[in-house]
Amino acid sequence: MSATAYEKLEQRFRRILILGDAGEALNWDYATMMPVGGGPARGEQLAELSAVRHALLTDTETADLLEEAAQDDSLNDWQSANVKAMRRKWAHATALSEDLVLAFSKACTACETVWRGARAENDFAAVLPHLEALLMLVRESARAKSEKLGLSPYDALLDEFEPGERSADIDIRFAELEAFLPGFLGTVLEKQQSDPAPPFPQGPFAAESQRQLGLKLMTALGFDFNHGRLDVSLHPFCGGTPDDVRITTRFDEDDFSSAMMGVLHETGHALYERGLPARWRYQPVGQALGMAVHESQSLLIEMQMSRSRGFLEFVAPLMREAFKGSGPAWDVEALYRNLIKVEPGLIRVDADEVTYPLHVILRYRLEKQMIAGDLALSDLPAAWNDGLENLLGIRPGSDREGCLQDIHWYDGAWGYFPTYTLGAMTAAQLYASALEDEPRISTGIPQGNFTPLTDWLVDNVHALGSLLSAATMVEKATGRPLNADAFTRHLKARYLG
């Protein structure tokens, strides 16, 4: 009996996604282990993998199979959703030529390699020509996808990271947050200044002690070390595959909380990857549901749960043990107040949850201007500094603290940044519903029992893969469409309560 069109598509996409997993392994090695001199060869390897995947996606037979499968009334809900997800990947791929895919992949690797040194040396000029070459290819890709998908160039890039999301909707949501956050920030800062400052744990905190604490927290949350590992990289990330999840962090021996929260954040990503439906591994419907949902899972763990008093009751003894801490600075209340301290800062990944959305709004606006050609890359450092000063009242003293701090643009991820704040809103809404649905979550966290929470997330988010749209998943899990209400209520309760 010959295979149906749908069965042939499953076989084809299984191969495409396995090749993608191989690329993930090469990218992890590039970020953590590879010697600097291996960069050019690694760029060639990644580019060839991208070209092979692109060729499989854009083959004329793929289009014919998609048309035939779309008419197959025998498909169940998961299979129908799989075809829809396949078609979306096909549409994005067929907008681009193989030459453009190859050139873009090589430019990403070349630019990121130079960025690593430029960031360390605070030398934007060194990476500028590489970033200009990469942005030209980003714009070319955006134009091609715009024509294919019937979207604006920016929305065509955004759609790759967050299917169905549009900048017009983001503009409205971000305008609402920008109207709320500066005034709220001022109120929070006034409240903090009126309260006695909590004592702060004094370092140094050995990197290995921080690593051991991170491993304990990962284990407590259910991270499976038979299917993943923790390493160090210049910029923390979660990569790999659902069966081999690779997370990284970086250590500051003056402040252990940065690495600890980074580990918790990336563990949230990792749990999502591990919780995706195994039945649909290597199929588009079995993949994560866009980056806003992915970020919601990391921010739910890092911000919503791990900065709560309940979590500090569990982790405070582990902190004291790891760093031989004693005295008032290591009491639960002091640790809690330090972890929720609000202070405008220069670095996004270290920002508190009140100021964090303003960091994202800045990057979102700048990348839209650069893609549209309204902001020259040579003017990016000054525009960044002016924008941050307008939003947060502080100004970077160096490009390392400014436009060189994030990897995303230098690695070709344009249209990604708004998903961070969409993720924060989604995290708050999901966590509020989880606490309401399952009372054992609140009682379990102080005891180090996170199973009620992770089970709820698996049932309502992880195990659904890409069966539903993000909007439908959120409304189904929480009973209402995504909005900022749960996020702003959470901020008010935590910082003014």
Residues that are catalytic: 266
Which residues, other chains included, contact 337 with Cβ-Cβ below 8 Å and sequence gap of 6+?
198
Distance between CA 336 and CA 334 in Å, rounded? Answer: 5
What are the CA-CA distances from residue 108 to residues 40, 122, 265, 323 (Å)? 11, 20, 25, 40
Record the tokens describing residue 406, joined without a space: 């994030």
Q: Do strands 244-249 and 228-232 pair parallel, antiparallel, or not at all (unpaired)?
A: parallel
Reference 263, options 215, 320, 330, 201; nearest CA is 215
> Looking up tokens 């309940």, which residue turns up?
310
Record the tokens describing residue 246, joined without a space: 């690779």
Distance between CA 54 and CA 16 in Å, rounded? Answer: 8
Reference 301, options 486, 422, 450, 466; nearest CA is 450
Q: Are 371 and 138 in contact (CB under 8 A)?
A: yes
State the chain's maximal CA–CA distance in angstroms.
77
Q: Are 159 and 290 in contact (CB under 8 A)?
A: no
Reference 111, options 58, 43, 205, 63; nearest CA is 43
Q: Do strands 238-241 and 244-249 pair parallel, antiparallel, or not at all (unpaired)?
A: antiparallel
Distance between CA 181 and CA 72 in Å, rounded? Answer: 50
Rg over alpha carbons for the chain, rounded to the nearest Å, is 23
Q: Are 435 and 308 in contact (CB under 8 A)?
A: no
Distance between CA 394 and CA 391 in Å, rounded? Answer: 8
Q: Are 372 and 153 in contact (CB under 8 A)?
A: yes
Residues of 239-250 as b/e, b for ≥16 C-beta within 10 angstroms? bbbbebbbbbbe
Phi, psi of 203 (to 5 degrees): -85, -160
What are the CA-CA distances from residue 164 to residues 149, 160, 212 (Å)? 11, 9, 41
Q: How many CB atoms lie within 10 A of CB 41?
A: 11
CA atoms within 13 A on the CB side of 227: 12
Read off the amino acid at residue 14. R
